[in-house]
Amino acid sequence: MEEEKQIPVEICNHSLVVGYGRVGSMLGSKLAETGILPMVVVKNSLTRVEALREQGTKAVYGNAANPEGKWI
């Protein structure tokens, strides 16, 4: 299992995009195009989270579908 120290995201009034595959990335692009920012992405791939952060997108490593409500 991938591990990461969680980095808190301290913003208010933001969009939350769960998953950033084909549909999530299209949604994220549309939110940015229309100025609906800031945005935070929740993704269960540490590699993808790191890439998003490098691009300036706030991202959290986790699994929103986890029935226990816990982050990875």
pLDDT along the chain (72 residues), means of 10: 59 89 95 91 93 93 76 55
Buried residues in 27-65 as b, exposed as e (16+ CB within 10 A): bbeebeeeeeeebbbbbbbeebbeebeeeebbbbbbeee
pLDDT attached to residue 72: 53
pLDDT attached to residue 1: 47
